[in-house]
């Protein structure tokens, strides 16, 4: 498992003890409205998510990190393999108190550098709902390019951005 430090943040794998703080972010109404629904009681539900991330760390050597600002969990972000597309996405979600500081872009930039650098991935994508302009602004700041609309889980016609390693290295 990989832990990274960025200029202002610590990115480390989530553990069971993070469940309560993670549920407060992941299930915050202003965050949850943009993400696939989690079923059941929030802390119990995110325990399942943390377990899936732990399995991905073992299986693939990457999974989304918990994002920590001075030891406080403010969100999740990083690389996530999506079997439906057989590709790796970069994702992010922060507690509303942490919006507007450039933290999501900072996390995602570190994730892309790790994905293209250490993990040698060929392409990384990001998807979101068409009206999630804040998330698309992060994608554009990172240099991802809009390609098409796709369906994913319960979401139809969502926007797909991506960047390949060559384009990332040429930036």
158 is a contact residue toward ligand COA (CB under 6 A) = no
100 is a contact residue toward ligand COA (CB under 6 A) = yes
37 is a contact residue toward ligand COA (CB under 6 A) = no
136 is a contact residue toward ligand COA (CB under 6 A) = no
CB neighbours (10 Å) of residue 48? 13
159 is a contact residue toward ligand COA (CB under 6 A) = no
Give yes or no for a contact between 59 and 38, defined as CB atoms under 8 angstroms apart: no
Which helix (H) or strand (E) element contains residue 142? helix 133-142
CA dist 98 and 166 (Å) reads 32
Q: Specify the residue, 120 or 133, whose C-beta has the smaller distance to ligand COA.
A: 133
134 is a contact residue toward ligand COA (CB under 6 A) = yes
DSSP, collapsed to helix, strand or coil, labels residue 61 as: coil
Site residues (vs ligand COA, CB under 6 A) = 31, 34-35, 92-94, 99-105, 128, 132, 134-135, 137-138
């Amino acid at each position: 498992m990989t832990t990274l430090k960025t200029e202002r943040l610590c990115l480390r794998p989530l553990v069971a003890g993070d469940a309560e703080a993670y549920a407060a972010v992941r299930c915050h109404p202003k965050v949850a409205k943009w993400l696939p629904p989690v079923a059941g009681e929030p802390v119990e539900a995110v325990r399942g998510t943390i377990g899936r991330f732990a399995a991905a760390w073992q299986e693939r050597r990457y999974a989304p990190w918990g994002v920590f600002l001075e030891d406080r969990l403010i969100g999740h972000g990083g690389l996530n393999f999506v079997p439906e597309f057989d590709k790796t996405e970069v994702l992010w979600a922060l507690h509303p108190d942490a919006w507007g500081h450039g933290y999501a872009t900072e996390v995602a930039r570190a994730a892309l550098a790790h994905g293209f650098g250490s993990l040698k991935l060929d392409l990384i994508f990001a998807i979101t709902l068409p009206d999630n302009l804040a998330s698309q602004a992060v994608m554009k700041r990172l240099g991802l390019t809009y390609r098409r609309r796709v369906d994913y889980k319960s979401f139809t016609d969502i926007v797909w951005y991506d960047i390949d390693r060559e384009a990332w290295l040429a930036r």
